[in-house]
Structure 1
Amino acid sequence: MKKVRIILIILTIILLAGGLYWKLKNNSSKKDMANATVNLKINLGIEDDGKDDTAFLLEAINNIETKKWQEAEKNLKALLETYPNGRYSDKARLLLTQMKQEKKEKGSYMWAIILLLLLINLICTPFCIKELASRDWFFTIVNEGSAKAIMGGGGFQRFVWQYKNQLLNVPGASWHNDKIADWEVIQAKDKKPSWLITFWGLTGIRWLGLPGLQNIYSYTFKWNSLAQDSRADGVIDAGGGIYFKPHTEVINYILLQPDVYYVKLEEAEDAKMVPLNIDFTMRIRIVNPYKALFRAQEWLEITVSEIIPLMRRLTPQDEWENLTKNKGSLVGSFLQMSSQAIQDLTDDYGVEIETNGVKILRIAPGGKLAEEYEKAATEEFKADQEAKKIGVLATAEEGRIQKVYGKIQSFGPLGEMVRHVEALETVSKGSSNTIVSAPELVGLGRAIQNLAETKPERRS
């Protein structure tokens, strides 16, 4: 806005300066001509001698002095017509030439001013249109992928929109299709705007109407959008790394392009009547802005109120731990069960829920005992992991015993005795442990003695 004002001020100064210069120049030329005629009268010593040619010339000079240029021109022409070769003919021709030159200069200045005005108009008009459009005066700005409803006297008149390769099924338009509802979004190739509109950045500017007679429909819209983290103002932590921001704004447009909306279902119940909170998103596209705006007070609120009960009916089919593990199959069941309801929303309110745009973000216990349920589930998970760990260790120990003691048995009494001694050595490594097992030592000594006394047979 500030830049626009500066540009307008500069152009106005240029225009005023040009006009002032032309005015001064014009007055100076006329003054010079008047002085020339006075000097001519004095130098020639023209006096009224009662003759017609003198009367014509004196009258012309008097008209020039009083700046009656047209009368002066008539007098001079009359003088030349009556006395083409008279004593004042040359002077009359000189005065006419000077007057014609003055007219020519005046005309050139006028054309310069006209061209300057056209240039100023060419430069200022786009800025003026944008400024008016920003205030919704005569024009309005329509952002890409949206539409605005134009009202007159409280009644709907028409839509203006901006959406590449998308048109609205406008009644009476050349592309209107009688087989589909009025104001339905249809795919069609856009007519390319003129290069001048594109050059000046007026692609999204639309004619609104006369101020006071036409206005843009506005309404209060409430929705929740996902956020990356909780650092921004107004963002709420829903738990499980999910952040959303509630919005309540008065807007004067409706989105035609798809957008993602966050929904929280609270205190549904699983198969064991455990209260659950379900965080999910829906990607929604408006396919008929008239139905969405004027067949419902708040189209998103009606959509959510239709979807929530359907989602709530699915959770009692299983326990919440299994629901959490199978969120994809739960979405599939939801879409299959709610297909008719989704189609009814499209037909009645022009709201289309994209089937591949429904995502369950989180299923968690809700209510006052949410922490206890989650803690119990965590403990159960830990117990399952511990049981698995013990089972793995038991299997490993079983294999070790089979391997070690199977080998010991293959050595007979000597293998068993060696194993006893190894066990005693392991125990004795403890602090303040002194272990003496006499029977095992005696048995081991006898076994060694028997082996030593055994003599090998000599070969003959």
Structure 2
Amino acid sequence: MVFDYQIHGGKMNIPMFVLGLFIVLTPGLAPLVIIGLPIFLRWLATPTTDEKGNEVGEEILVATVEEGRARIIEHNQKFRRCILSYANREFLGKTPKGTAKGLHWNDPDFWEVVPLNSPPTKYPKWKKLLNRSSYDGIHWMGLPRIARIPRYRMTWIQWGQEVHPDGSATQEKKAIPRNEIISHVLLQPDVYFVRIKSAESKDGVRMDVDVLLTAHINNPYKARYWVEDWLEAITNQTEARGRDYVTDKETLQMITLAFDEAKTTISAGVSASTKKDFESFIKKSLTRYRKEYGVTVSMVQIHSVEIAGEDTAKVREKLILPFLASMDAKKVEIDARAEANRIKTVAEAQKQAIQEVLGTASRISGGLELFKWQQIGELKQLTTLFAGTDDDQKRLVIPVGRP
């Protein structure tokens, strides 16, 4: 069908006019489209946020993912697929190994995150001219109102440096409570703080054990759909198994006391063997969550063990005072042993000196006799008696002790 339009008494073919206009403008519009389309898509993929930075809007048609994270796309509130952005990582189902296994997108193992040893993508010249690299990281979601990225609230305690509103951070690391609405699954390892509160030891002393868990998601599909809250699951398991461990140990098996004589204070710590045993015990119980919930706990660390406030007096009576008494007894024992060693050392030195002198004197004619009388002369509290009255007739009789 041909549409004609009357212009100043003449006729113009409308389709031909539009085609001619397109041909004329295309050389000028093409660069604008090549440059502007990625920017427009990026705008569609960026949800609106409130003054606190919380996402209040939704993505339209397309979505992006921050590095080290994955996001889930749902169609009509049902899982459709996952998207990720993680250097040298890819979903197992998209690798040659996954293809060989015949994995399908609805197979949970399809979404296992695995290392990908492949060189960076190199685009041919014609794709570079079309600005192909600007589309990297932009993922097609689906039609609006059908496709969406779900948001959910996550509560956790992060271990790290607290960042103030002005951008500065604290020097010391500490437990930072977090409560946020998020739309991603963190694939990078992070450190989470868990407190096992008032765990009672075998001898009835309650203590708080602070534990640091280093964990990451290795399967976002399982972490999101196979468990209500993956972090709460491993936290509850850590608390339960930690209590079992403490209940089976005496207090002095959990903590070690050290007496600082200079400061006259007692410090409590955790021995290296206890830390290693506890950490191995907890980590072993969390290993199964990699297969069940897609969560890998790579490290468990005891940060501190503190006696609960209400049991401080009990610990002082049962542990601190006996510890101080044992330290005093040990100090007396050490002092006595040191004095005995000193006496023994002096006696051995004197004995060795006499043996050396005797050895020298024995090689001299009459030397031993001279040495004997020299030693007698050096003895204290002795009196030498002489017989005779005249000085020239006095002769040595015998040395005796002074009365």
* 2:15 corresponding residue in structure 1: none
Structure 2 CA distance, aligned partners of 1:279 and 1:269?
14
Instruction: Say if 2:85 is the partner of 1:162.
Output: yes
* 1:203 corresponding residue in structure 2: 136
Q: Give 1:183's match in structure 2, choosing from 107, 111, 124.
A: 111
Structure 2 CA distance, aligned partners of 1:271 and 1:199?
66
Structure 2 CA distance, aligned partners of 1:450 and 1:206?
119
Instruction: Say if 2:32 is the partner of 1:131.
Output: no
Structure 2 CA distance, aligned partners of 1:156 and 1:231?
35
Q: Give 1:122's match in structure 2, choosing from 23, 34, 43.
A: 34
Structure 2 CA distance, aligned partners of 1:451 and 1:248?
106
Alignment of 1:398-413 (within 5 A): 398-401=340-343
Asked if structure 2 preserves the Cα contact closer than 8 Å seen for 1:164 and 1:190, the reply is no
Deviations 1:179-218 (A, max 9, x none): 7734223344458445449985543322222322211011
* 1:47 corresponding residue in structure 2: none
* Offset at residue 282 of structure 1 (A): 1.8
Which letter maps to 1:363? V
SS in structure 1 of the partner of residue 99 of structure 2: coil
Structure 2 CA distance, aligned partners of 1:395 and 1:451?
46
Instruction: Say if 2:190 is the partner of 1:259.
Output: yes
Structure 2 CA distance, aligned partners of 1:232 and 1:69?
71
What residue ranges of structure 1 are gaps of 5+ in the alignment? 1-65, 71-106, 234-240, 418-443
Bigger strand fraction: 2
* Offset at residue 387 of structure 1 (A): 3.9
Structure 1 CA distance, aligned partners of 2:132 and 2:319?
63
Structure 1 CA distance, aligned partners of 2:23 and 2:317?
88
* 1:345 corresponding residue in structure 2: 289
* Offset at residue 456 of structure 1 (A): 6.1
Which letter maps to 2:201? D
Structure 2 CA distance, aligned partners of 1:259 and 1:297?
20
* 1:146 corresponding residue in structure 2: 69
SS in structure 1 of the partner of residue 310 of structure 2: coil
Give the stretch that moved more between structures: 205-214 or 110-119: 110-119
SS in structure 2 of the partner of residue 147 of structure 1: strand
* Offset at residue 379 of structure 1 (A): 5.6
* Offset at residue 284 of structure 1 (A): 1.8
Q: Give 1:392's match in structure 2, choosing from 318, 326, 334.
A: 334
Structure 2 CA distance, aligned partners of 1:191 and 1:157?
29
Asked if structure 2 preserves the Cα contact closer than 8 Å seen for 1:314 and 1:330, the reply is no
Structure 1 CA distance, aligned partners of 2:60 and 2:100?
29
* Offset at residue 244 of structure 1 (A): 0.7
Which letter maps to 1:278? V
SS in structure 2 of the partner of residue 353 of structure 1: strand
**C-alpha spacing 1:334/1:67, structure 2 compared with 1 (3 Å):** same
* 1:300 corresponding residue in structure 2: 231
**C-alpha spacing 1:198/1:142, structure 2 compared with 1 (3 Å):** farther
Q: Give 2:146's match in structure 1, choosing from 189, 213, 221.
A: 213
SS in structure 2 of the partner of residue 134 of structure 1: coil
Give the stretch that moved more between structures: 373-382 or 200-209: 373-382
Deviations 1:229-275 (A, max 9, x none): x7858xxxxxxx87210111110010223322121111112221211
**C-alpha spacing 1:220/1:337, structure 2 compared with 1 (3 Å):** closer
Structure 2 CA distance, aligned partners of 1:412 and 1:382?
51
Structure 1 CA distance, aligned partners of 2:26 and 2:70?
39
Asked if structure 1 preserves the Cα contact closer than 8 Å seen for 2:93 and 2:109, the reply is no
* Offset at residue 280 of structure 1 (A): 1.2
Alignment of 1:216-255 (within 5 A): 216-228=149-161, 243-255=174-186
* Offset at residue 290 of structure 1 (A): 1.4
Which letter maps to 2:315? Y
Asked if structure 1 preserves the Cα contact closer than 8 Å seen for 2:253 and 2:274, the reply is no
Which letter maps to 2:140? W
Deviations 1:4-30 (A, max 9, x none): xxxxxxxxxxxxxxxxxxxxxxxxxxx
Identity of paired residues, percent? 23
SS in structure 2 of the partner of residue 297 of structure 1: coil
Structure 2 CA distance, aligned partners of 1:309 and 1:451?
95
Instruction: Say if 2:203 is the partner of 1:286.
Output: no
Deviations 1:144-172 (A, max 9, x none): 22211111222111111122333224599
* Offset at residue 374 of structure 1 (A): 6.7
Asked if structure 2 preserves the Cα contact closer than 8 Å seen for 1:226 and 1:245, the reply is yes
Asked if structure 2 preserves the Cα contact closer than 8 Å seen for 1:165 and 1:189, the reply is yes
**C-alpha spacing 1:257/1:350, structure 2 compared with 1 (3 Å):** same
Which letter maps to 1:275? R
Asked if structure 1 preserves the Cα contact closer than 8 Å seen for 2:205 and 2:314, the reply is no
Which letter maps to 2:220? P
* Offset at residue 390 of structure 1 (A): 3.1
Q: Aligned pair count?
A: 314
Structure 2 CA distance, aligned partners of 1:393 and 1:296?
63
Which letter maps to 1:218? R
Asked if structure 2 preserves the Cα contact closer than 8 Å seen for 1:170 and 1:176, the reply is no
Structure 2 CA distance, aligned partners of 1:133 and 1:370?
56
Instruction: Say if 2:240 is the partner of 1:309.
Output: yes
What residue ranges of structure 2 are gaps of 5+ in the alignment? 1-7, 13-19, 48-58, 166-171, 256-269, 355-374, 398-403
Asked if structure 1 preserves the Cα contact closer than 8 Å seen for 2:282 and 2:300, the reply is no
Structure with the greater alpha carbon radius of gyration: 1
Structure 1 CA distance, aligned partners of 2:95 and 2:343?
91
Asked if structure 1 preserves the Cα contact closer than 8 Å seen for 2:206 and 2:308, the reply is yes
TM-score if structure 2 supplies the norm length?
0.64
Bigger helix fraction: 1
Alignment of 1:4-153 (within 5 A): 113-135=25-47, 136-153=59-76
* 1:437 corresponding residue in structure 2: none
SS in structure 2 of the partner of residue 358 of structure 1: strand
* Offset at residue 138 of structure 1 (A): 2.0
